[in-house]
Amino acid sequence: MSTVPQLVVHRDKELMAQAAAARLITRVVDAQAARGDASVVLTGGRNGNGLLAALGAAPARDAVDWSRLDLWWGDERFLPEGDPERNVTQAREALLDAVGLDPSRVHVMPASDGPYGPDADAAAAGYAAELAAAAAPQDHGPVPEFDVLMLGVGPDTHVASLFPELPAVRETERTVVGVHGAPKPPPVRISLTLPAIRAAREVWLLAAGEDKAEAVAIALSGAGEIQAPAAGAYGRSRTLWLLDAAAASRLPRDLYPSASA
């Protein structure tokens, strides 16, 4: 069942990144206090990397026990290990190399020169198996119930590497798929599917900038998930859209939150 999206609009993308970073620290600290560990799914793209950089600069980042945090990815550009366009390479630069993560808890999606070679579908199946192995009996299927799953929203409403009308966004069984012919380079990618995304407790969608305004308005105005994949991304307990004023500028009046900062 979908959760009703909650919207928070910040003045600009810098404030949005800082506020989202503060929110993530609190969420992770709370989960670690309750259970001992926490799990977060990272997104690539400008807003995801902006959040990680803000997290790295936040004094409260030391409140997180980084060694007890599981990191997963929502999608990956299927390129060789270390390629600067890979989401993991950018995440390492923005934050991950600076904090004390346990390497066995950093679940990187395979590279195109990795164990599966250039076969993106086999690599996706391998990642699905890794997720299934991490799922606990109380989880709701073959993926862990992530504490927070973050998604950047593309100007075409794509989330992760689920692009409008492509087969990946129609997937209802598999949790991870190879994506071929993506309209945004590179064309070959690996992505969580909507059923895997919806296993998360909280899904946070990040969008900043005027170029995202149309996509945000479409996804939140009742569009179908095949045409607007962001419309199909929601969490079990909470779905949060974290926006800046430019990205929120084309929202219909009745959707615009009354308070924003």
Ligand X SMILES: O=C1O[C@H](COP(=O)(O)O)[C@@H](O)[C@H](O)[C@H]1O
Residues near ligand X (CB under 6 A) are 43-48, 75, 77, 87, 151-152, 154, 160-161, 184
Please, what is the Cα angle at 197 between 191 and 201, to 5 degrees?
150
**Residue 143 beta carbon to ligand X: minimum distance, rounded to whole angstroms:** 17
**Residue 259 beta carbon to ligand X: minimum distance, rounded to whole angstroms:** 25
Give the helix/strand (H/E) hosting 19: helix 13-35
**Residue 67 beta carbon to ligand X: minimum distance, rounded to whole angstroms:** 25
Rounded to an integer, what distance in angstroms lies between the CA atom of residue 239 and that of residue 7?
Answer: 9
CB closer to ligand X out of 38 and 197: 197
Question: What is the distance, to the nearest Å, from the Cα of residue 54 to the centroid of all Cα atoms in its chain?
Answer: 16
CB closer to ligand X out of 184 and 236: 184
CB closer to ligand X out of 100 and 185: 185
**Residue 158 beta carbon to ligand X: minimum distance, rounded to whole angstroms:** 6
Residue nearest to ligand X (CB): 45
Rounded to an integer, what distance in angstroms lies between the CA atom of residue 103 and that of residue 195?
Answer: 27
CB closer to ligand X out of 39 and 87: 87
Which residue in 208, 255, 217 sits closest to 13, CA to CA? 208
Residue 191 in tokens: 């992505």
Rounded to an integer, what distance in angstroms lies between the CA atom of residue 81 and that of residue 126?
Answer: 16
**Residue 136 beta carbon to ligand X: minimum distance, rounded to whole angstroms:** 26
Residue 253 in tokens: 């009046």
Can you spell out the DSSP letters for 156-193? TS-BTTB-TTSGGGG-SS-SEEEE-S-SSSSS-EEEE-
**Residue 191 beta carbon to ligand X: minimum distance, rounded to whole angstroms:** 8
CB closer to ligand X out of 23 and 46: 46
Residue 174: which residues within 8 A CB-CB, separation 6 or more? Answer: 124, 125, 128, 193
CB closer to ligand X out of 28 and 41: 41
